[in-house]
Chains A and B, each alone.
Chain A
Amino acid sequence: MIKDLNNYITINKPLNEKGINKFIAVKDNIVTKGLKTTCFSKMLNDFLPLYNAPIITSLINEGFIIVGKTKMKEFNIGEGVNACADVVFNGDVLASITTDIGGESLNSSLVALRPTYGLLCREGLISCADSLEQIGIISRTIKDNAMLLQVVTGHNYSPFSFELKDKKIVILGDGYQENKLIKKLETEGIEIRYLSFDSQKISLIQQIILAVEASSNLSKFDGIRYGYRSENFNDVLSLYKNTRSEGFGLEVKKMILLGTYLTKRENINIYYKALKLRQELVNTLNDIFEDCDYIFNTGGPFLVSLTGHPIISVTGFQIMANYYKEENLYKLGYYLEQLGSDNNV
């Protein structure tokens, strides 16, 4: 039933294949009661949560079954390893519950929704950066995705009736030029505008915020109350030092060091500058959405972890909408799904 065991850190007890429509996988940074939750870190190697994240509880209450916890980058820091998408692609599960910081969960061959920041309860998400990381849903179809979002929010997102005319679209980034769908939309008279943002600057802002938040979010991992504890210590200081040196991988340590450096009294102004620029970006997007329905991201910078807007990836497109307009994303997504995949970039 499971195509590739390497995608998982922990597998649940053997399951009856008949329930495959109710099978889900969960990224290993969301706490699951009775199933080890490790964030793929030595720090939480044997950590067995005593409670479920509320989002998991709502899924279990609706009869969904967790097949296993999927592999990730340690504490979600570093370049993306997206086992969460692979297990859906492989058909192990109906969908997976993932988390996303920089768009790594948006996969071109699947339907991945990263909802509005604040729509889903984040309790139980072991986050390295609370203001950037958001829980998302990866599935094979729009219908499955919307059904799962309904389970966890209580809102009904169907039906997906959609009218293309009168929609206003903004295209971000240069990747649109060879795109057949975009050309088609232009010929049908849909209003399209083109915008660009400074990718480097946005990337830098995100990096600064991530480092600062990670440096304090990860300070609870000290071997005192749970998790990995070094065997080499003779006092409190060496307990902390050795546990954290041995328990964290290199990428995580680098991020913590960067964040610690940035939060020093003499450097913190850099972080506040990044926050200011973040707010400006939010204001800019809000202005754009005053006069447009969708922003297509075709190779532009990943904005939504900084602004909190919802984004969906479907048939190879990454599409953003205004806050709490997941319904609009599903409608357009369904329309694109029906058009077929010959519109991929």
Chain B
Amino acid sequence: MYDVVIGIEIHVELKSKMKAFSSSLNKFVLEPNKNISFYDLAYPGCKPKLNKEVVEMALKASLQFNCFINKKMYFERKCYFYPDLPKGYQITQNETPIGYNGYLKIDEERKIAIERIHIEEDTAKSIHKDDGTYLDFNRAGVPLIEIVTKPVIKSAEEAMLYVTKVQETLLYLGISDVKIEEGSMRCDVNISLKEKDSEVLGQKVEIKNIGSISNIGESINYEIKRQTEILNKGAKVYNETRRYDDKIKETILLRRKDELTDYRFHPEVNLPLVILSDDYIEKVRSDLPIMPSALRDKYIKLGLNNNNIKTIISNYSLCCFFETVILKTDPLLAANLLTSEVLTYLNKEKREIKDIKLTSANFIQLIDALTEGVISSKQVKDVILILMHDGGDVFKIIDELGLKQISDDKFIFDIIDKVISNNEQSVLDYKSGQTRAFKFLMGQIMKETKGQINPEKTKELLEKRLS
């Protein structure tokens, strides 16, 4: 009955070393008001200073989202009064967003048009409690980029896919942790309904405080239902800001927006005009890191299975680690090990791969030891646990644990002969066609040596003996 028209605004915290316009370190500190500078508090006399790294990160995003770049850009003051806005204005970009008119490919057929990407500073955090509202200025001045789509998204599914792709892209650009639960990525959805195939847009409603990607889909579907009911009755949809309540699965009215708010934009005179030269833009463009879609193609060509590809790409730091070892050792074995033993350990310990003692070097050593038959795949599991926990040299560990796999022909034949002589019935069974007997004999041999002989070699030699 109605066409759904959706636009999404995403605020992304950039993980630059310092904040956008002040010299505070841009790091997350739990204890309130422990990471603040005079500027973050809008102390009298403080002037903003533009952080070059922030511009570079915003440029990377703009280029990756295929935007036109505003080579001459300036900053403006967006004025309003609220306790979490210390200066009484936010420094942002209004007339000259760093990127505009871009797009993001979300699958083979669909591109989402990007209206603009601009740089701004974050506000402080308001924490509402029973006895009042508390202000934490740790977040004040944190650099943000705001990514705004054109109103071209048509469904909950498309919206969720878009946000997922944005997350993946920004993660792989290395400019943000994009964790919705932690607040380093915040999505606001604007949604309206219009008569089917009509050119006239309906009244849009803004949905804020969406806590996860699935909540994006849920809130959109709820709004479609709510607005449809209103329009079917012949009533009007109001210009509102609503929030999504995950417990009752509904959007709740926050405030009515009666008229367009006038933020009295005017230039931030303390920041000069920023000019991005063609050379600089090209240099940043040529240094853009490889994106998931290209990585996917690369891994498919290498022969990785789809599950492993999905797992590795969805874990950015794991993927970065994988990239450091991929050319130097067997990629399939590396992928298997990373997505099983390593990932399990990381999840259990709640750590990132950069925080554990496993290094690219000893990981490569381990895989090489496996491919050369020095240790068995079962033994790899023991060794990697030690590597992740304590680090160290693979061969030293193998020696210390006495794990070195035996591949010596004579030694193996001795064991084989011993087992054969103790299991004559099994030998006869095998020779009369019962293949199960072979497995039994193998099992006995492995038991004799506590799994320390090279199984492939053993199989080969056992077959020789039995023929």
Which of A124, A212, A219, A225 contacts B81, CB < 8 Å? A219
Docked CA distance A240–B83 (Å): 9
Q: Please give the number of chain A residues whose Cβ is less than 8 angstroms from any Cβ of chain B in the complex.
A: 37
Contacts between the two chains (Cβ within 8 Å), count: 79
Find residues 58-87 in chain B having any chain A CB closer than 8 Å to their own CB.
77, 79, 81-83, 86-87
Docked CA distance A193–B105 (Å): 65
Segment of B8-16, B37-45, B209-217, B412-420 in the binding face: B37-45
Q: How far is the CB of B47 from chain A (nearest CB, A)?
A: 5
The closest CB in chain B to the CB of A209 belongs to B269
Contact B262 A265 (CB under 8 A): yes
Contact B44 A126 (CB under 8 A): yes
Q: Knowing A44-B44, A47-B44, A213-B269 touch, does A220 contact B38 (C-beta < 8 A)? A: no
A-chain residues with CB within 8 Å of residue B44 when the two chains form the complex: 31, 37, 39, 44, 47, 49, 126, 220-221, 226-227
B-chain residues with CB within 8 Å of residue A215 when the two chains form the complex: 79, 264
Contact A263 B79 (CB under 8 A): yes
User: Is A120 an interface position by the 8 A CB rule?
Assistant: no
Which of A123, A131, A268 contacts B46, CB < 8 Å? A123
User: Is B425 an interface position by the 8 A CB rule?
Assistant: no
A-chain residues with CB within 8 Å of residue B83 when the two chains form the complex: 222, 224, 236
Chain B interface, >50% SS class: loop
Chain B proximity mask over A228-264: 1 for CB below 8 Å, otherwise 0: 0000000010001000000000000000000010011
Chain A proximity mask over B24-51: 1 for CB below 8 Å, otherwise 0: 0000000000000010011111110000
Docked CA distance A85–B45 (Å): 22
Which of A39, A44, A50, A219 contacts B87, CB < 8 Å? A219
User: Is B443 an interface position by the 8 A CB rule?
Assistant: no
User: Is B88 an interface position by the 8 A CB rule?
Assistant: yes
A-chain residues with CB within 8 Å of residue B262 when the two chains form the complex: 264-265
User: Is A101 an interface position by the 8 A CB rule?
Assistant: no
B-chain residues with CB within 8 Å of residue A324 when the two chains form the complex: none
User: Is A53 an interface position by the 8 A CB rule?
Assistant: yes
B-chain residues with CB within 8 Å of residue A221 when the two chains form the complex: 44
User: Is B345 an interface position by the 8 A CB rule?
Assistant: no
Which of A37, A130, A216, A265 contacts B47, CB < 8 Å? A130
User: Is A51 an interface position by the 8 A CB rule?
Assistant: yes
A-chain residues with CB within 8 Å of residue B45 when the two chains form the complex: 30-31, 37, 49, 53, 123-126
User: Is A271 an interface position by the 8 A CB rule?
Assistant: yes
Contact B264 A264 (CB under 8 A): yes
B-chain residues with CB within 8 Å of residue A53 when the two chains form the complex: 45
User: Is B434 an interface position by the 8 A CB rule?
Assistant: no
User: Is A122 an interface position by the 8 A CB rule?
Assistant: yes
Contact B266 A212 (CB under 8 A): yes
Contact A216 B41 (CB under 8 A): no
Docked CA distance A123–B38 (Å): 11
Q: How far is the CB of A190 from chain B (nearest CB, A)?
A: 37
Contact A130 B269 (CB under 8 A): yes
Contact A226 B79 (CB under 8 A): no
Contact B266 A216 (CB under 8 A): yes
Contact A220 B86 (CB under 8 A): yes
Contact B264 A220 (CB under 8 A): no
User: Is B89 an interface position by the 8 A CB rule?
Assistant: yes
Docked CA distance A215–B264 (Å): 10
The closest CB in chain B to the CB of A131 belongs to B269
Docked CA distance A131–B86 (Å): 21
Q: How far is the CB of A174 from chain B (nearest CB, A)?
A: 33
Interface core residue of A44, A123, A227, A260 (most chain B CB under 10 Å) = A123
B-chain residues with CB within 8 Å of residue A240 when the two chains form the complex: 81
B-chain residues with CB within 8 Å of residue A219 when the two chains form the complex: 79, 81, 87-89
B-chain residues with CB within 8 Å of residue A224 when the two chains form the complex: 83, 86, 135
B-chain residues with CB within 8 Å of residue A49 when the two chains form the complex: 43-45
Q: Knowing A263-B79, A264-B264 touch, does A220 contact B87 (C-beta < 8 A)? A: yes
Interface core residue of B42, B43, B270 (most chain A CB under 10 Å) = B43
A-chain residues with CB within 8 Å of residue B88 when the two chains form the complex: 216, 219-220, 222
A-chain residues with CB within 8 Å of residue B87 when the two chains form the complex: 216, 219-220
**Interchain residue pairs with CB less than 8 A apart (15):** A31-B45, A53-B45, A123-B45, A124-B45, A126-B44, A130-B269, A212-B266, A215-B264, A216-B79, A219-B88, A220-B42, A220-B44, A221-B44, A226-B41, A263-B79
